[in-house]
Structure 1
Amino acid sequence: MISPDDITALFQRNGAYGFSRWGRPIAPVVFGVEDETLVVVKGALEAVTTLARHDIMETDPEFGSNLWVFFLRDWDELKGVPDMDGLIPEMDALLPRLTKANANQYRFFRFDTHGAIKAGFLFLRMDDALSQIPADVLALGQMVQMILLWGDQAFATTSPLAIHPDTGHTVLRPEIAQIIQAGYDPILPSVATDSSHALRLFARIPPTSSVV
């Protein structure tokens, strides 16, 4: 059973509590994959948004697309993407840091005036480690990490996914699924900076859970 402290830890960033969910429907676009993988990524997004009871749309009125997913072989590929520096501040300075750190993924969010998510950017450099993960597993794990503003260490040591004990399939850990559902409860605010919010999330999680 997950505790309020566990939930608080999932939304800690630089020692402070910070929760944010999408404040508008998600309009995705995916670059750098074949059609088969595109279907898998969009299927994972549909599964997570259905869980959250959140909408997907074709076009965002402000950005056109507001969830950008890039599959890359090298970080330098982003240098050729038009207007990327306008979407992500200091992109030119970011790329050398990602290369030096040998990073294989990077997430960035933009927020509206209230602090709710209005755009998200996911970059996956398909190194040997990521390439060995089945496409459906990789897509599900990444879409989970894009549906909320999780803390910077939320899944550093424990994946949001698990193996179903009966089927052997990879599924979303039940407590993470329930936090996502609770986080999108319309009664709760889209943005929270006080850790008492974690107690409100906890109150919406059933006392027992099973893998779904």
Structure 2
Amino acid sequence: MSGGDAGRVTALFSRSSGGYRFARWGRPLAPALFGFSEIEKPRYAAALAEAARACGLAVVEADPELGRNCLVFMCGAWGELPRIPGLDRLVPDLEKLVSVLKATGANQYRIFGFDEAGAIRICITLLRGDADLRAAPFPLLALSQAAQSMALWSDTAFQAESPVVATGAGAALDPWFESLLGAAYAQDMPPASDDPAHARALAARLCA
């Protein structure tokens, strides 16, 4: 096992507030996209399908429990979010969250919900299309956001690196991250863990 891989994987799932926490999806994705142009929407849907493929996840029209479980909202300003019908029922303390997002200058935020086994049952991605977010080509942006929705990563996971790379065709998952997602979704790996030994098990699979 590579010590570098083990340390890298551990960092990707270690919270800035302390502690290790990993979770993956425990059900197929049922996406719903809001605020995208007619050109952007199918491209984002394709990016979600590509990220799901790397995990061995199916993409379906509806989740039996929730209807849609992978929701993505693109807005021009955070103040638009409270005006979206029903979003306040999905996002606890939406007004307070909007205030925090404004104050920190954030352009993205993800909210995860979990089932009884600790696996992801819902992910809500909030995006503000500012100049920094729009600076990347849309295929690269979409696949990066999709990859970040495939697991409960650390809140600092992608500050210095990206899970995707630019290609002549647009974008692709970075091979190392694609292998990591494949290892994380192996049938004999747990759907959730707060034990750092989980990271060493993932690193061992990468080296194998």
TM-score normalised to structure 2 length: 0.93
Question: 1:168/1:37 Cα in 2 relative to 1: closer, same or farther (>3 Å)?
Answer: closer
**2:18 and 2:83 mapped to 1: Cα distance?**
36
Q: SS state of the match for residue 71, structure 2?
A: strand
After superposition, the C-alpha distances for 1:161-207 in whole angstroms (9 at most, x for unaligned) are: 2346xx59543222111110101001101001101011111121146
Unaligned runs of 5+ in 1: 208-212
**1:155 and 1:172 mapped to 2: Cα distance?**
14
**Partner residue of 1:88 out of 82, 88, 91:** 91
Asked whether the 8 Å contact 2:143–2:171 carries over to 1, the reply is no
User: Partner of 2:164 in structure 1?
Assistant: 161
Q: SS state of the match for residue 69, structure 1?
A: strand
**1:169 and 1:106 mapped to 2: Cα distance?**
24
Query: For 1:36-55, what aligned pairs fall within 5 Å after superposition?
Result: 36-55=39-58
Query: For 1:117-128, what aligned pairs fall within 5 Å after superposition?
Result: 117-128=120-131
User: Partner of 2:13 in structure 1?
Assistant: 11
**2:181 and 2:43 mapped to 1: Cα distance?**
21
User: Partner of 2:136 in structure 1?
Assistant: 133
Determine whether 1:110 maps to 2:113.
yes
Q: SS state of the match for residue 76, structure 1?
A: helix
Determine whether 1:27 maps to 2:49.
no
Q: Percent identity?
A: 37
**1:35 and 1:205 mapped to 2: Cα distance?**
38
User: Partner of 2:67 in structure 1?
Assistant: 64
**1:206 and 1:47 mapped to 2: Cα distance?**
23
